[in-house]
Structure 1
Amino acid sequence: MAKIAFILLCHKDPDAIIKQAQSLTAVGDYISIHFDARAKPEHYRKIREGLADNPNVCFAHKRIKCGWGEWSLVEATIYAVQSAVESFPRATHFYMLSGDCMAIKSAEYAHEFLDRRDCDYVESFDYFQSDWIKTGWKEERLIYRHWFNERTQKRRFYAMFELQKRLGLTREIPADLEIMIGSQWWCLRRRTVEWILDFIKQRKDVMRFFATTWIPDETFFQTLVRHLVPEHEIECRTLTFLMFSDYGMPVTFYNDHYDLLLSQDFLFARKISPEATELRRRLGVLYASDGAKFQISNEGRSLYKFLSNKGRIGRRFAARFWEKESSLGRERELLIIVCKKWHVAKRLLDRMQQMTNIPCIEYLFNEESCPLPDLGGIQSTMGKRHRHRRALVRMLFDYYDTDRLVVCIDPGNLDLLEDFGRDRSLTRLLEIECQFSDEYLIGHAMRVGLAGDRTPYETLMRLLPTVRNDMVHESDRIRDAHFDNHTRMREIDSPEVNAKAVASFLTVPESQAQEIVQLDHLFAD
């Protein structure tokens, strides 16, 4: 059975470190601690004294001062790994942690998980071919030497870089290494760790190279594992759940994230807030429990993206030049049906097509599969349709040789509605207001990736108000835009009332509009 030796790099909160070590070792696992030499000496003494009687705890042979982006982080990890290998001969896996990490599964589950497959878990992507680095330096991290800390010695850091760049003082990457990159939160087998320690002793040239690279904790172990271990024995992923905001900062978890964390396909999570005392307590109890069952839904990242985007309503890039200068045509009418329940809008659209001679197009800006004529390729991808929205609709007018066209648009596409509303053509909106049951909202959350078949019921119940409010908010934004010629038909209204809205929208007699809305199953789910 797997026995884990945790490699803990930490620099603060000695009480939390003691509790973390006691929790992880209480089930028979081990921990090797490196406490930053920059930290207060009394904090380190407190940790040593608090864990002195625990045989499953050891400390790095040497403490060093660590800095972000420096080789010191890798060096500290190596010292902690060396101590763990010597102190815990029964350890089968070595798992990298920080003081902000906590288990989100039971130890029983974690051991069974690691026993399922004989492999190393480490993100290890090709440094130059992958898009792991989104912005900033790439090759410069490697071919120039970096002796200073970019955060604490910024002027020296960039001065040395510019000097090397002007003088052409680049260096070669070790010829036999394929540089890889990935998260520093890995879990490696004992054999792999021993191979890495042997490699370190033999290849001083590689050590010198990485010692002056920038942010080597994202490349050192990732490169060596891929160099030493057969590819089929590497699982290119981390077992630690972490998310980053749009600003590149780690997302912090609090007391109300307990159920969300347990449903992710990971063993640990980072970062747990120091103030989340109840979350830390519950996760500590969970790690020592037996027989715990977990429903893995893994929707955490998509759910976070959905919720965080709610605070960014209204942003839109400036209109492209071809959108500013183009027009659908002053004499044309664009009739837009706006409805969140696409099947309801499509039923009404089908009736309109049967009862009038107006060409009707379904959700052309929302569904890739929407039937469209060949317009020279402008309709071929969703990206092209959005980029050339006015040109696309103008070509549809021309294709059908008409001055009136009905299209469906999702209420979330306010930018499209505003864009068409500013056109010289006459634009009419028919907003269909539907009722949303819990079952429909759950299905919607699953369709857009906010939940899955295994998402816990409690999580779904907490998610539903947000999804419902989001749909209400979309409708409110449309009303706040004050579009001209905006009419509404509602599920709760009678067919007679809705017929008046359709008559105004299509500018047809009410008798004809009544025939259009006379569908018993129009609003059925």
Structure 2
Amino acid sequence: MARIAFILLTHKDPEGLIAQAERLTAAGDFVSIHFDASAAPADFRKLHAALDPNPNVTFARKRLKCGWGEWSLVAATLEAVKAAVEDFPRATHFYMLSGDCMQIKTAKYAHDFLDAEEADYIESFDFFTSGWIKTGMKEDRLIYRHYFNERTQPKRFYASYNLQKRFGLAREVPADIQMMIGSQWWCLRRRTIEWVLDFTRTRPDVMKFFRTSWIPDETFFQTIVRHVVPESEIRTRTLTFLMFTDYGMPAHFYNDHYDLLLSQDYLFARKISAEASDLKARLGALWTQDDTGFAISNEGRALHAFLTGRGREGRRFAPRFWETESTLGRERTLIIVTCKKWHVAKRLVAELRKRHEVTAMEYIFDEMGELPDLGGIEKTKEKRNRHRRALMRMLFEHARTDRMLICLDPAAFDVIRDFAADKCETRLLEIECAFSDDYLAGHARRVGLAGQTTPPQVLEQVLPTIRADMAFESERLRDAEFEHFALMREDGSLEDNTRALVQTLDISFELAQELAQIEYLFKD
């Protein structure tokens, strides 16, 4: 059975660290602690006094003063790893943690998970081609030597960096090493850890290189593990669930995230808010439980992106050149039917086709419905949206018509606004539907915000936001004050809905009334 030696790097909160170590060792696992040498001596003495009696806890033999982005973080990790290897010969896996991490599964689940596959879990992507670094310094992290800390000594850091660039003092990456990058939160087998330690003793050239690289905790283990372990035995992922804000900072978890965390396909989560006392208590009691089942839905990151993205969506500030220089034509009429429930708009269009001659395309910018061969512009949704005016002009020409109807999701506001600004006559019919909680839950599953096993408590928390988001999309359309806009409502009167259909579709009153009275039109 798997026995885990947790490698714990921390610099504060001795009481929380003591509680964390006692929880993790209660199920027979081990903890090796590196407590920052710059922390208060009294805190370190408190740690020792509380944890020395625990045979499953050890401390790094050498304490280092650690700084963000420095080699000292890797050196401290290696010190804790060496102590764990020496003191815990029964440890099968070594799991990197911080004081802000907490378990989101039971020890039994974690042990069974690690026993199920002979593999190492570490993010390990090609440094130069993967695009893992989104902003800031990239290859310059490696090819220049960094002797100062950017955060504590910014003037010296950039003076040294700029001097090296000015005098061409760039260095080469060790020739036989493929530089990799990834999260510093890994879980490695004992054999792998021993190979890494052997590497540190036999390759002083590589060690010297990493000592003056910048942010080596994101590259050192990620590179060396890939060098010493067969690729087939590496799972390029972390077992610690973490998310980042738009500003590149770790997102925090709070008391109402308990069900969300337990449903993720990870063993631990980072960062648990210091104020989330209820969450800490519930997660703390979880590790030693035996009979807890976990329904994995794994929608956490999609939910976070959805919830935090409301109200902060980017807007392009200039039309694309191929759109400004093209038009559908003054003599043409484009009818847009927009409805969040796609099946409702499709039913209306299908019934219209039965009773009236119309050229109609259903949600061609939202799904990959069949289109005629237009030279490749129709092959992907990305191409269709990027060249939307050109696509519509070609569809008009292919159909040899000056009137066409398309369906669009209300979320496609930029597309609707773009067509409304064209020289053609654009008519817009919004079909407003009622949304039950069951429908919204199904919508969340269809778009990846939830899975079939997402806990009901998580869905209950996100449904109001989804409902508000749909209301926002509708309000945005009406606030835009498009010239030819009409509204058809599920709960609207027959007279109002008939008038909206006549205005938009340019059909007879009798036909519009017939369409407005279709009994199954709004059925889910």
TM-score (norm 2): 0.96
Aligned equivalents of 2:198, 2:6: Cα separation in 1? 20
Deviation, structure 1 residue 216:
0.8
- Paired residue for 1:365? 365
Which range moved further: 213-222 or 47-56? Answer: 47-56
- Paired residue for 1:66? 66
Deviation, structure 1 residue 258:
0.6
SS at match of 1:311: coil
Paired letter, 1:143: I
Which range moved further: 306-315 or 202-211? Answer: 306-315
Q: Give yes or no for the alignment of 1:320 onto 2:296.
A: no
Paired letter, 1:315: R
Deviation, structure 1 residue 376:
2.7
Aligned equivalents of 1:383, 1:227: Cα separation in 2? 38
Paired letter, 1:520: E
Q: Give yes or no for the alignment of 1:31 onto 2:28.
A: no
Q: Give yes or no for the alignment of 1:176 onto 2:169.
A: no
- Paired residue for 2:342? 342
Aligned equivalents of 2:404, 2:228: Cα separation in 1? 63
SS at match of 1:123: coil
Aligned equivalents of 2:473, 2:500: Cα separation in 1? 20
Q: Is the 8 A contact 1:355 1:516 kept in 2?
A: no
Residues 373-452 of structure 1 mapped to structure 2, 5 A cutoff: 373-452=372-451
Which range moved further: 488-497 or 251-260? Answer: 488-497
Deviation, structure 1 residue 499:
2.1
Paired letter, 2:497: N
Aligned equivalents of 1:372, 1:227: Cα separation in 2? 48
Cα deviations by residue, 1:211-260 (Å, 9 ceiling, x for unpaired): 11111111111111111122222221110001111211111111111110
- Paired residue for 1:149? 149
- Paired residue for 1:188? 188
Aligned equivalents of 2:311, 2:42: Cα separation in 1? 43
- Paired residue for 2:17? 17
Q: Number of matched residues?
A: 524
Paired letter, 1:490: R
Identity over aligned residues, as a percent? 64
Q: Give yes or no for the alignment of 1:216 onto 2:216.
A: yes
Which range moved further: 391-400 or 285-294? Answer: 391-400
Q: Give yes or no for the alignment of 1:257 onto 2:262.
A: no
Cα root mean square deviation, aligned: 1.7
Paired letter, 1:242: L
Paired letter, 2:172: E
Deviation, structure 1 residue 325:
3.9
Cα deviations by residue, 1:98-145 (Å, 9 ceiling, x for unpaired): 111000111111111111112211111222232222233332222221
Deviation, structure 1 residue 371:
2.6
- Paired residue for 2:78? 78
Paired letter, 1:36: D
- Paired residue for 2:511? 512
Paired letter, 1:295: A
Paired letter, 2:57: V
Aligned equivalents of 1:196, 1:450: Cα separation in 2? 39
Paired letter, 1:116: A
Q: Give yes or no for the alignment of 1:492 onto 2:491.
A: yes
SS at match of 1:334: strand
Deviation, structure 1 residue 495:
4.3
Structure 2 vs 1, CA of residues 347 and 523 (structure 1 numbering), >3 Å: closer, same or farther? same
Paired letter, 2:251: V
SS at match of 2:468: helix
Which range moved further: 6-15 or 257-266? Answer: 6-15
Residues 76-115 of structure 1 mapped to structure 2, 5 A cutoff: 76-115=76-115
Aligned equivalents of 2:105, 2:522: Cα separation in 1? 43
- Paired residue for 1:351? 351
Which range moved further: 464-473 or 71-80? Answer: 464-473
Paired letter, 1:438: D
SS at match of 1:64: coil
Q: Give yes or no for the alignment of 1:232 onto 2:232.
A: yes
SS at match of 1:336: strand
Deviation, structure 1 residue 77:
0.2
Paired letter, 2:231: E
Cα deviations by residue, 1:339-363 (Å, 9 ceiling, x for unpaired): 0111110111122223332311111
Aligned equivalents of 2:422, 2:502: Cα separation in 1? 23
Paired letter, 1:327: T
SS at match of 1:237: coil
Paired letter, 1:167: F
Cα deviations by residue, 1:449-492 (Å, 9 ceiling, x for unpaired): 01112211222222222222221221111112222221111222
- Paired residue for 2:2? 2
Aligned equivalents of 1:142, 1:511: Cα separation in 2? 74
Q: Is the 8 A contact 1:147 1:157 kept in 2?
A: yes
Which range moved further: 87-96 or 296-305? Answer: 87-96
Paired letter, 1:201: R
- Paired residue for 2:274? 274
Cα deviations by residue, 1:374-405 (Å, 9 ceiling, x for unpaired): 23332222222222222222232233232222
Deviation, structure 1 residue 518:
4.1
Deviation, structure 1 residue 314:
6.6
Deviation, structure 1 residue 45:
1.9
Task: Extract unaligned runs of 5+ from structure 1.
Answer: none
SS at match of 1:130: coil
Deviation, structure 1 residue 494:
4.8
Aligned equivalents of 2:314, 2:155: Cα separation in 1? 39
Deviation, structure 1 residue 59:
1.0
Aligned equivalents of 2:44, 2:311: Cα separation in 1? 42
Q: Give yes or no for the alignment of 1:311 onto 2:311.
A: yes
SS at match of 1:488: strand
TM-score (norm 1): 0.96
Paired letter, 1:489: M
